[in-house]
Amino acid sequence: MGDMYKLQKEAKRIKKELANTHIFSEADGVKVTVSGEQEIIEIEFLNDEIIGDATRLAKAIKEASNKAFKKAQQVAAEKMKAVMGGMPGM
């Protein structure tokens, strides 16, 4: 029973930590920042010329967002692996 409480407490701590973790990714002049909880924090346009090209802009946003989300998933998995690795039977 104590292990379950400890696990819940650790999971809450990691969730809070992930919310405060920012991951960046860039593609073709678009920089996307996401939290460790995989929520978009900010989208920046580093290249003004891309704003006039809707197709290129959409592609860059999609690419940068997907890369940032993938990185965020990896960060979360690593943090959870550390918690789960210390639990008996895991």
pLDDT at 1: 54
Bridge partners (DSSP) listed for residue 25: 32
77 in a domain, yes or no? yes
| CATH number for the domain that contains residue 40 | 3.30.1310.10
4 in a domain, yes or no? no
User: Tokens at residue 69, please?
Assistant: 């989300």
What one-letter code names the amino acid at 10?
Answer: E
pLDDT at 47: 87
Distance CA 10, CA 49 (A): 46
5 in a domain, yes or no? no
What one-letter code names the amino acid at 48?
Answer: D
Q: Which domain holds residue 74?
A: 13-85
3 in a domain, yes or no? no
pLDDT at 55: 96
50 in a domain, yes or no? yes
Query: Along the chain (90 residues), what's the average pLDDT of each consecutive run of 10 residues?
Result: 78 89 96 96 93 95 97 91 64
Distance CA 90, CA 88 (A): 6
pLDDT at 89: 53
The phi and psi torsions of 80 (rounded to 5 degrees) equal: -70, -35
28 in a domain, yes or no? yes
8 in a domain, yes or no? no
7 in a domain, yes or no? no
pLDDT at 62: 98
Name the pTM for this structure. Answer: 0.81
Domains of the chain: total: 1
